[in-house]
Structure 1
Amino acid sequence: MLLVEISDSTESKSSLICVDNLRGVSEVSLDFLHDRIKVRASCNGLLCCSSVPDKGVYYVCNPMTREWKLLPKSRERPVTRFHPDGEATLIGLACDLTMNKFSVVLAGYHRTFGHRPDGTFICLIYDSESNKWRKFVSFQDDQFSHMNRNQVVFVNGALHWLTGSSSCILALDLDCDTWRKIKLPDEVFYGSGNRVYLLELDGCLSVIQISDVWMKTWVLKDYYREEWHTVDRVSLRCIREMVPSIFPISQTNEYVFLASHKQVLVYHRKSRLWKEMYSVKNSSTLPLWFSAHAFRSTISSL
């Protein structure tokens, strides 16, 4: 499924909708949090949300069961923690259903109050079992665009982000608190009109590249040997006018969900048919892909 936060400029409010290939479109309410929030990450049916009025306040919730947990505040002062605006560059949620636990990761460049950023990369990790934050510091020279840091995938006990230049995947191993770089498929072509996205496919890392006329998908079949296999190659000629703005959000072996400025599309891999699932009827202030997250519902308890 797909969760999209719809902002309405005329009413200064937002709503959360769920788009399901089988059940259609429904509205999801997070009013049980009693706060104005923004969804920051999604993993295995749980959402990580940040408070809009109160910086540094984070929740993890299950919208299906309406269970939620307010995370304890970390000891780091927000103004000295992250550069440039006190907000973490990377926010990730890792939910292990087999162990019935979750982790929240906040990572970003360090800046001491009154000083320029010094190049160190702070990582704060919340562990639901201990109900505490832990911290480690490393050096990262990778940059992240807004959309690269918005797409985060949890597989093999690690959280993964695509770097801003789309040159590699950056993986954070949550068992040993280390960063690792994973190479992209050799066939990924860099250049004008080519865009690369990071998704999950049946428990594996997957990369989708969109060009003017093609959508190509790879899956990382061997995680440790970094062996990529081609999944499919889809012509985009029938949606040519939408190609510059489409953004793949989630996928299965059967279909791919994509968002554009105003619509949510689904592509059925077997029938090779495209279908519009949702279209904004009001004056949405942001493109839909700006606040869209892959979602898989669960009734697992927090």
Structure 2
Amino acid sequence: MMELRCMNDDILMQVLSKLSTKDVHMLKCVAKEWHNLILDRSFICLQLKKTEAVSGFFFQARFQWCDEDINNISYIPLETRKTQVHSTVLNFLPEEVGILASCNGLLCCRSSYPRYPPLIYVCNPLNKQWMSVNSVHYSTSASAALVFDPFKLHKDDASPNFKIVTVSETESEDEQSKFAFQIYSSETGKWRQSREMCHCNQKLFKMNGIFADGSLYWLMDGDKILMFNPETELSWLLNVPLPITEFRSIPEICIGESKGKLHCVLLSEYGLQLWALEDFFTSQWNLTCSVSLDKLEEENSQFLYQIAEKLATRDTFCWIKVFAFKDGILFLSVSSHFYSYDFATRKMKKLCAISDLGPNSREFPMVVPYTMSLVPLGPV
């Protein structure tokens, strides 16, 4: 009888692990046995090792000229037929926060300014578990990234091992910017300064760092991308796929991760292009998708009109912008609404009005892709 029960549990575990994380999380309420099985570390490890598509995007508006936060964080899901903006997803945290980055189901936030130094929170919005990290060396000008590899989570681990990496800019003696890296490891519970320094004549574009293929990437405000490997602690500057001088006007650009690789999205007079990084040492990119402006407008005529003309004028900055990319999905704004664009189907989906996300939502928001997972951050 016991052997049969164990066999049934094994079969149930295999069946449940093939469902989406959201569905599995909801099935905890079916029965006590299902609840215990879904919260079992062995099942969580099995679930984490399957591919899960991006679930949605966290969105937080920002002020352009000051560091104080706009304490209004929205979560915009992708899987629903009619999008509903959620504004209370992070209410389980003990204070208001600013979002920083996400990685494989974990979200990294910090205490809202003007509190200084802030606490950094690593949390799982699905199971509402969190832990805090002191950040006495955190700079208000720093940009952060989160490193978490679900394939390294073991069933005997009390909590996942992760790293937080911050990059901050200082002036060097030759007035060229240099970037320093601080690393926090959950294994040691301590911060330390990396010996690595990166010199660059461009400024850091204050967005979240992207974790892809074992390294972290930050977009600069020119045609460079800053790379930092948290294992070797080596940094590198790589070029975006096409230099800015190739374009008649400044293109819309963002970076993100898909299928483990860093990707770069460019929207310009050449159309909408998706590039995958093949070799960061040589800045070799592979063009995986290219849609002309005419074709983009034809395939999404209910949302786009006269796109070529608008991209050629100076009102482009207000009319269309790209913000984030993850797993083949682009988050962008057109006129007064936010949309998602699926590179596989080449179709846009209207998500919400810009006004639904509060004031200052158009210009410099922090947009962080999020993928649901069952990863625990404490006792389950």
Length-normalised TM-score, structure 2: 0.65
Larger radius of gyration: 2
Q: Name the residue aligned to 1:45.
A: 105
Match of 1:287 among 343, 362, 369: 362
For residues 127 and 184 of structure 1, the distance between their equivalents in structure 2, rounded to whole angstroms, comes to 30
Q: Name the residue aligned to 2:27.
A: none
Larger helix share, 1 or 2: 2
Aligned-pair distance for 1:118? 9.0
Q: Which amino acid aligns with 2:116?
A: K
Task: Tell me whether 1:131 sits opposite 2:189 in the alignment.
Answer: yes
Change in CA separation of 1:201 and 1:142 when aligned onto 2, cut-off 3 Å: farther
For residues 71 and 26 of structure 1, the distance between their equivalents in structure 2, rounded to whole angstroms, comes to 29
**Post-superposition, which runs of at least 4 consecutive aligned residues in structure 1 deviate over 4 A?**
117-120, 222-226
Deviates more, 1:132-141 or 1:21-30: 21-30
Q: Which amino acid aligns with 2:131?
A: K
Write out per-residue CA displacement over residues 186-235 of structure 1, whole angstroms, 9 at most, x where no aligned residue. 57734523233211121101111111461111112355665321111123
Length-normalised TM-score, structure 1: 0.80
What 5-or-longer segments of structure 1 have no aligned partner?
A: 79-85
Match of 1:56 among 102, 117, 123: 117
Task: Tell me whether 1:170 sits opposite 2:226 in the alignment.
Answer: yes
Paired residues of 1:95 and 1:101 also in contact (CA < 8 A): yes
Match of 2:200 among 141, 147, 160: 141
* Identity across matched positions, percent: 21
Task: Tell me whether 1:185 sits opposite 2:241 in the alignment.
Answer: yes
Task: Tell me whether 1:88 sits opposite 2:141 in the alignment.
Answer: yes
Match of 1:211 among 268, 284, 292: 268
For residues 101 and 335 of structure 2, the distance between their equivalents in structure 1, rounded to whole angstroms, comes to 20
Change in CA separation of 1:20 and 1:291 when aligned onto 2, cut-off 3 Å: same
| SS of residue matched to 1:31 | coil
Q: Name the residue aligned to 2:49.
A: none
Q: 1:68-87 residue pairs with structure 2 within 5 A?
A: 68-74=130-136, 76=137, 86-87=139-140
Write out per-residue CA displacement over residues 64-85 of structure 1, whole angstroms, 9 at most, x where no aligned residue. 11111110234x4x6xxxxxxx
Task: Tell me whether 1:235 sits opposite 2:292 in the alignment.
Answer: yes
Write out per-residue CA displacement over residues 119-165 of structure 1, whole angstroms, 9 at most, x where no aligned residue. 553321101111111112424224335xx330421012211112211
Deviates more, 1:55-64 or 1:14-23: 14-23
Q: 1:78-117 residue pairs with structure 2 within 5 A?
A: 86-99=139-152, 100-110=160-170
Q: Which amino acid aligns with 1:54?
A: R
For residues 169 and 200 of structure 2, the distance between their equivalents in structure 1, rounded to whole angstroms, comes to 10
**Number of aligned residue pairs:** 283
Paired residues of 2:254 and 2:325 also in contact (CA < 8 A): no
For residues 91 and 290 of structure 1, the distance between their equivalents in structure 2, rounded to whole angstroms, comes to 15
Match of 2:210 among 153, 166, 188: 153
Q: Name the residue aligned to 1:299.
A: 374
What 5-or-longer segments of structure 2 have no aligned partner?
A: 1-55, 63-69, 153-159, 298-303
Paired residues of 1:221 and 1:229 also in contact (CA < 8 A): yes
CA RMSD of aligned residues (A): 3.1
